[in-house]
Amino acid sequence: MRGLKVFLNGLLKENPSLVLLLGMCPTLAVTTGVSNAIGMGLSATAVLICSNFVISLLRKFIPSKIRIAGYIVIIASFVTVVQMFLQAYVPSLYDSLGLFIPLIVVNCIILGRAEAFASKNNIFLSALDGLGMGLGFTLSLTLIATIREILGNGTWLGISLFGEGFQPASIMILAPGAFLTLGCILAVINLISAKRNGGNKNA
């Protein structure tokens, strides 16, 4: 029961990129297409599960003074593994994500979960937290990428949706579109949560 709660926490209530606003760089940079977003999300998820697992395993042995440096080394090792894996098996994704694969190391979500969750909880819960947070991250990246790819390119996962007549607004897949899309999504979330809170007060 506790496990399910931990898992759902990352997926919805504390969604890393839409609620906690962590890991903004990949959220904005790789969401030009749905396939990139899913690739980045799953890579980060893999790193997050592994690093949470190992850090939770070692939480009683890492001295608290140098724990951040220790976490960074553990995370960087897993990022290197993922990087080599992608380069070997999915070279097209490796090329299109480019610089942002090694930059998973400095993604605040991963270090944040290591510090806030994995260093205090057991192995099972930590891995589950990594899975929930990672999937939450993937889901929100996919949402942003869906909006940007449909409006900016007229496609979803590379499949053309509207045919010849559609004039794509290419600004949406350029840099300004990323900020604009995320701003609008956050505004909608604000609107929904304000309504909910208002409803609770009335009741």
Q: Which residues bind another protein (CB under 8 A)?
A: 21-22, 24-25, 28-29, 69, 72-73, 76-77, 79-80, 83-84, 99, 102-103, 105-108, 111, 171, 174-180, 182-184, 186-187, 190-191, 194
Q: How far is the CB of 73 from another protein (least distance, A)?
A: 7
Q: How far is the CB of 140 from another protein (least distance, A)?
A: 14
The answer to whether the CB of 27 falls within 8 A of the CB of 17 is yes
> What is the C-alpha to C-alpha distance for residues 149 and 159, in angstroms, rounded to an integer?
10
Measured over the CA atoms of residue 192, residue 193, residue 197 and residue 200, the dihedral's sign is positive
Q: How far is the CB of 83 from another protein (least distance, A)?
A: 7
SS3 104: helix
Q: How far is the CB of 14 from another protein (least distance, A)?
A: 16
Q: 122 or 170, CB closer to another protein? A: 170
SS3 43: helix
Q: 32 or 52, CB closer to another protein? A: 32
Residue 32: how many other CB atoms lie within 10 Å:
22
Q: 12 or 84, CB closer to another protein? A: 84
Q: 58 or 72, CB closer to another protein? A: 72
Q: How far is the CB of 116 from another protein (least distance, A)?
A: 14
> What is the C-alpha to C-alpha distance for residues 70 and 67, in angstroms, rounded to an integer?
5
Q: How far is the CB of 28 from another protein (least distance, A)?
A: 5
> What is the C-alpha to C-alpha distance for residues 182 and 22, in angstroms, rounded to an integer?
13
Nearest to 108, CA basis, from 200, 184, 21: 21
Q: 106 or 123, CB closer to another protein? A: 106
SS3 33: coil
Tell me phi and psi for residue 161, to 5 degrees. Answer: -100, -35
Q: 24 or 123, CB closer to another protein? A: 24
